[in-house]
Amino acid sequence: MTASQPGPLANDVSGTEVSDNAGKSVRSVTGITVRLAGDSGDGMQLLGTQLTNTSALAGNDVATFPDFPAEIRAPRGTRAGVSGFQLQFASEEIFTPGDTLDALVVMNPAALVTNLGDLRKGGILIANEDGFNAKEFKLAKVESDPLESDIINQSYRLVKVPMTKLTRAAVEEHGLSAKNADRCKNFFAMGLVYWLFGRSLEPTLRFIQEKFYKKPDVVAANEAALRAGWAYGETTEAFGESYSVDAAELQPGTYRNIMGNQALAWGLITASKISGKDLFYGTYPITPASDILHELTKHKNFGVRTFQAEDEIAAICATIGAAFGGEMAVTASSGPGIALKGEAMGLGVMMEMPMIVINVQRGGPSTGLPTKTEQSDLLQAMFGRNGEAPMPVLAPRSPADCFDMAIEAWRIAAETMTPVMLLSDGYIANGSEPWKIPEMDSLPKITIQHPPATSGEEPFLPYERDENLSRPWAVPGTDGLMHRIGGLEKEDRTGNVSYDPDNHQHMVQTRAEKVARIADRIPEQDVLGETSGDVLVVSWGGTYGACHTAVSRARMDGHDVSHAHLRYLNPMPRNIGTLLKSFRKVIVPELNAGQLRMLLRSEFLVDCIGINKIKGKPFTVNELVDAIQSHAAPARKSKAG
């Protein structure tokens, strides 16, 4: 079944081998990068999620990259219909789901031809040989069986497994139809992968019981398929060894695996609780932001109110209404929906209402690549409203960081009385990593005070400002606080409609200054490495992991390189200008055509160098290392990261 000689994985550091119960060796490695690929109906996302959760429970550091078809109903068997899930789990701290693959599991020819290029030479290739037939070859546009090619058999450790037949045999006694029996083959593949990489079956067995408890026959069949896959790995001669990855040394605490959209939802709920507000979430479904709504609907017991509007405009207008009503108001979308929300965001700026607008970015323009990641909405977030309508813009750097930045976005919105844009992206939203669950007492307090009722003898001044230039947040119905609201320009202090040109300029400049002063209430920019030197890499959003790892490698190789990752994009940290001018070269990697680079050049007059990628895929560490080294001065002696 295997045409290549076994060899150690790329991450093998110890070479330690011990015999397992089947007389095979177990090789200890520091980490594994594996991708699972098949049709969108083959259950690859479920397999990947279970492998991730099991690895996290084993104490490994994990990072994932789910990859979905762009079409909801992409034709089966075609290259456009391939669904993939990449995972790296390791015994040391990691920041990316890996570059080259140590192992690739494919269910059909389309999955093979679209993913094989990422498998390293000598890597393990596991193929469901039952999915390789003339019909599938035609759908995948291959002329013959690629598993028979000399290139594959000479370059990789190919293991052909008749998964469909073996799964049917394993579940035969449970009386499922052939169609339903075939749906269990992802659990067979799961069991095989679990054996190969020393994962426990117990978490997934519990999952099966909880997921399908109303269907005992399905529970029994899936359990049988899972165990059959494990047994196959244990007994077949195709694998001469399996692999083990020790637990990572993480900071003490209680951890769970968390996805970016889930972390955003939990951060919003937490922010509402520590500020004493109920959470209103007005939205219209759109990929890849919809899972925030799905998660929030599970937690209505925490005072969460979700509203699925008929369109994007209705969603944000309802959100403005909730903010006017005195509650924590949030809306979310992706680039196309943010475009539709533009005028209403300007209304929020004019009314000076605290609210959060979340943009989970995807490939564009227009419908673009709805399931692929991109960072091309930064300029939209900065300037995508008519008139002078500045908004604070924040961006989490990882799935777990979404929790903290959701809280930070609400703090800024409430303190400043302004809408805040929170820029996530598809890579962060669907990715996952271990998250250290914080103690509630350790979280920053958000104190919100509404003006009290008055007798009405003195006129209420709705645009009277405090030291942050923030106006009072008056709750409708409070005695003595009646005031005018709307989208027409306001008179300073009174809030009356004003067409006076001097007043308009004053109010525009005041709203801009209010946003600019936020820089005094956010941390200064931190740096990996020195604060001056040869090369500074500046990144934002989901590129953090690849940039951090690439800079660390370059520093270990002796290059004078530092890394600054921006989580605050408007206003930027108050020391960023000094940092930029303290390096010979500034490199800005982005998954767009150079939007942050444009902002840095125009604001700080620094000639930044762009590393740009617009393929719907994240950066690999290796391509960033190559780019950094091409611009850096010759390496000196190695230094620690």
Residues 132, 236 share a domain: yes
Alpha-carbon gap, residue 458 to 456, rounded angstroms: 5
The predicted model scores a pTM of 0.93
pLDDT of residue 13: 40
639 pLDDT band (50/70/90 cuts)? low
Residues 6+ apart with CB under 8 A from 214: none
Residue 8: inside a domain: no
pLDDT of residue 133: 95
Quick one: average pLDDT of 624-629? 97
Domain boundary residue, one of 470, 502, 520: 520
Quick one: average pLDDT of 410-425? 98
Domain boundary residue, one of 505, 520, 535: 520
Residue 14: inside a domain: no
pLDDT of residue 250: 84
281 pLDDT band (50/70/90 cuts)? very high
Residues 493, 415 share a domain: no
The 8 Å CB, 24+ separation contacts for 480-487 are 480/453, 480/454, 480/455, 480/456, 481/451, 481/453, 481/454, 485/324, 485/351, 486/350, 486/351, 487/346, 487/347, 487/350, 487/351
Least confident of 9-18, 222-231, 349-358, 595-604: 9-18
pLDDT of residue 72: 73
Residues 576, 490 share a domain: no
pLDDT of residue 73: 75
Domain range for 576: 527-631
Residues 109, 27 share a domain: yes
14 pLDDT band (50/70/90 cuts)? very low
pLDDT of residue 1: 33
Quick one: average pLDDT of 156-179? 94
pLDDT at 57 over 60: yes
Tens of pLDDT, residues 244-280: 999 998 888 999 999 999 999 999 999 999 999 999 9
**Secondary structure class of 439 (helix, strand, coil):** coil
Residues 360, 463 share a domain: no
CATH number, domain containing residue 409: 3.40.50.970
Residue 84: inside a domain: yes
Residue-by-residue DSSP string for 75-98: PTTSGGGEEEEEEEEESS---SS-
> Per the structure block, which two tokens stand in for 94?
């990691």
Quick one: average pLDDT of 342-359? 98
3 pLDDT band (50/70/90 cuts)? very low
Residue 9: inside a domain: no
- For the chain, what is the total number of helices (H) and then of strands (E)? 22, 22
CATH number, domain containing residue 542: 3.40.50.920
Residues 612, 484 share a domain: no
Tally of domains within the chain: 4
Residue 1: inside a domain: no
Residues 480, 554 share a domain: no
CATH number, domain containing residue 225: 3.40.920.10
Residues 415, 463 share a domain: no
Pairing of strands 583-590, 255-259: unpaired
Q: How many CB atoms lie within 10 A of CB 58?
A: 20
Residue 26: inside a domain: yes
Question: Which amino acid appears at position 60 of this protein?
Answer: N
Domain boundary residue, one of 436, 467, 487: 436
pLDDT at 193 over 60: yes
pLDDT of residue 267: 98
pLDDT at 350 over 70: yes
Residues 546, 598 share a domain: yes
20 pLDDT band (50/70/90 cuts)? low
Residue 3: inside a domain: no
Residues 305, 164 share a domain: no
Residue 98: inside a domain: yes
Q: Which residues pair with 537 in a beta bridge?
A: 563, 587
pLDDT of residue 24: 81
The mean pLDDT value of the chain amounts to 94
444 pLDDT band (50/70/90 cuts)? confident
16 pLDDT band (50/70/90 cuts)? low
Residues 307, 225 share a domain: no
Residues 531, 513 share a domain: no
